Amino acid sequence: MALDKNGYKRKTYDELLTEMQTRAKELFGENTNVSNRSVIGILLRIMAWFLSLVWEDNEDVYYSASINSATGASLDRLLPYGGISRNSEGYAEGPLLINGTPNYTLLQGFQVTNPSDVFFETIEDVTLDANGSGTVTIRAVEPGITGNVGVGQVTIIVNPDANIDSVTNPEETANGREKETDTESKDRYAVSVEGLGSATLPSVRANLLKLPGVRAAQVIENYTMETVNGQPAKSIQAFVLGGIDQEIAETVFTTKAGGIEPFGTITKTVLDLSGYEHIVRFSRAEEVLIRIRVTIQKNNAFPADGGDQVRSALVRFIGGEDISGALYAGLSMGDDVIYSRIIAQIYKVEGIDDVQLELSADGINYVSSNIAIGLQQVAQTDSDFIEVTANV
């Protein structure tokens, strides 16, 4: 039986071929030639091959029904059972300062770019003031983190206009993101089902993690009648990494318990269903940037891009931006950086005989031990923060 109390066990091509050869000898005689050069042997191998593909498909169907083993589109169909969906790609946005003819109206769709050919376009009309200056919102033409560019980089006009002299972005463009990975979706699913309902700390955290761009969240409560660590009595404080301020504030307001003050360093105004204004506060999580030094004793099986593979493995585990530009959530807020687990991630790359590892939270002092992370902190790294040395 392929399916029993232990789950589904797929038959391999070799197992199918052996069974078919045995059955053929039972039917045609023990001396039947089933070698790879006989007619019967060739036919058995053809049938065994295609049957093995059927068994593989059946195995995929079996595992696609579980949130822990499903991937791709199958995972997307299971995520709504946890009240979430996969975060899609996001377009970067930001302000663009325009100088040109006074009182000139520039229609939306005006395109600009930076030296790296990341294209943006205005998403609304803008009329320049009496001094020939105006500010308008631009959005990246293509989604992804490549649209997140620094201050003063968007200066090239794609479709020239005689009434426009110059452009620049006075602030960074932000909120560009890649499509959420399977691992990140599963992690959010696990948290979301723990926090079903509302008016509880798990529900506030779960709903925050459902927001696009939010990579980590933690909620602290002070249920006493006194101020504790600067947090007022009978209040909650949400610490959030990523996401849009207004969306975070609205989520805190709709999921917190009535009569509980939302405290924090960021203040936003939220309207209730009746149109009344409410002040909602929350705080941004403190990122602890982890720098890593890895010295590897490699063998002949170590791939040519093994160093990059090591960097990507560590970024995926801890969280941050890897060498390809993809952004990973990694460790949850408050999770310590465990030295032995980092070692385990490095050994996932083939061709490694020995590893020496050093970690630093400040870029100065390196240790070969765990790094403690506070409750309102989240560990993050970057491929540029990881030094990999491979020796023979």
Q: What is the H or E stretch that residue 291 is in?
A: strand 291-298
User: What are the pLDDT digits (tens) for 75-111?
Assistant: 888 888 877 788 778 888 999 999 999 999 999 999 9
pLDDT of residue 358: 94
For residue 237, the SS3 value is: strand
Using left for φ > 0, alpha for ψ between -120 and 50, and beta otherwise, residue 49 falls in alpha
Strand extents, DSSP E, 141-290: 156-157, 164-168, 214-222, 235-242, 261-263, 266-271, 277-284, 286-289
Res 133 pLDDT > 60: yes
Residues 226, 242: contact at Cβ < 8 Å? no
CATH number corresponding to 195-284: 3.30.300
- Predicted TM-score of the model (pTM): 0.55
Stretch 263-282: mean pLDDT, rounded? 92
User: What are the pLDDT digits (tens) for 303-347?
Assistant: 988 999 999 899 989 988 777 666 777 888 888 999 999 999 999
pLDDT band at 1 (very low <50, low <70, confident <90, very high): low
Burial call 140-160: b when 16+ CB within 10 Å, e when fewer: beebbbebbbeeebbeebeee
For the chain, the domains span 3-63, 93-168, 195-284, 287-391
Distance (Å, whole) CA 368 – CA 293: 10
User: What are the pLDDT digits (tens) for 183-196?
Assistant: 878 877 776 666 56
Residues 195, 208: contact at Cβ < 8 Å? no
User: What are the pLDDT digits (tens) for 370-380?
Assistant: 999 988 888 99
